[in-house]
């Protein structure tokens, strides 16, 4: 099981020492975890993911090149056409980047909307529907994923913390977990927005 730690801002170097598979950097200026400035040197085993919300494609490509991002997490209302355009723009710039399209779930979800994205995204990410595009701090009902119709690997996100370890263990025994590729954590491991609790993250990673 892969681990993605999102909302990096204030103690990125310390978090990187835990060697997660992915670190997420939010490039949405309305977020309290909005990333600005220079990115620290990170181990080559960690993939840097930029999180964007309905961003101008030119800005997305600029950030990919500036920070050498290996992944894009599209957290807004980006259409399949938008995803295709971004992929083509990056290809022109010789940038090999995975596209992760986010879908927010509360109590139910129409999985039919995934179909147009199948050919233009590398991964899906399922998060909790809330007031903000992400970082709302609570989980959705994972039993909704019983109806997952795809073979596309997905990230499981939304308010996941240490108290969810037993729930994750049980979930991973179920058929709907077959294509669960990674666990994505953020707000439940924070001392304040963008400042991660290293001890708790280490416990979670070891248990995972």
pLDDT at 133 over 80: no
At 12, give phi and psi (nearest 5°).
-60, -45
So what's the pLDDT on residue 131?
A: 60
Going 169 to 173 to 177 to 181, the CA torsion angle's sign is positive
pLDDT at 64 over 60: yes
Q: Does an H or E element contain 26, and which?
A: strand 22-26
So what's the pLDDT on residue 139?
A: 85
pLDDT at 136 over 80: no
List, for residues 81-121, the tens digit of each pLDDT value.
999 999 999 999 899 999 999 999 987 899 999 999 999 99
CA atoms within 13 A on the CB side of 111: 12
pLDDT at 129 over 80: no
* pLDDT band at 179; cut points 50, 70, 90: very high
| Tokens 């999102």, residue located | 6
List, for residues 20-43, the tens digit of each pLDDT value.
999 999 999 999 999 998 999 999
pTM for this model (two decimals): 0.93
Choose among 92, 86, 96: nearest CA to 57.
86
Going from the C-alpha of 111 to that of each of 36, 126, 135, the distances in angstroms are: 35, 11, 22
Choose among 111, 150, 109: nearest CA to 128.
109
Q: CA-CA distance, 155 to 163, in Å (whole number)? A: 19
So what's the pLDDT on residue 138?
A: 67
* CATH-assigned architecture of domain 2-207: Alpha-Beta Barrel (3.20)
Contact 159, 137 (CB under 8 A): yes
So what's the pLDDT on residue 132?
A: 59
């Amino acid at each position: 099981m892969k681990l993605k730690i999102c909302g990096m801002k204030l103690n990125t170097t310390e978090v990187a020492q835990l060697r997660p598979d992915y670190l997420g950097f939010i490039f949405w200026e309305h977020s309290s975890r909005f990333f600005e400035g220079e990115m620290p040197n990170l181990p080559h085993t960690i993939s840097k993911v930029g999180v964007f919300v309905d961003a101008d494609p030119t800005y997305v490509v600029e950030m990919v090149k500036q920070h050498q991002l290996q992944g894009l997490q599209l957290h807004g209302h980006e259409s399949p056409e938008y995803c295709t355009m971004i992929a083509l723009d990056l290809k022109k710039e010789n940038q090999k980047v995975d596209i992760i399209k986010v879908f927010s779930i509360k109590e139910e979800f129409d999985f039919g909307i995934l179909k147009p994205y199948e050919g233009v995204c590398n991964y899906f990410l399922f998060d909790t529907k809330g007031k903000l595009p992400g970082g709302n701090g609570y989980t959705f009902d994972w039993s909704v994923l019983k109806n997952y119709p795809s073979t596309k690997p997905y990230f499981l996100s939304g308010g996941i913390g240490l108290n969810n370890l037993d729930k994750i263990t049980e979930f991973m025994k179920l058929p709907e977990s077959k294509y669960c590729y990674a666990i994505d954590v953020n707000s439940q491991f924070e001392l304040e927005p963008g400042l991660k609790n290293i001890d708790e993250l280490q416990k979670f990673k070891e248990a995972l």
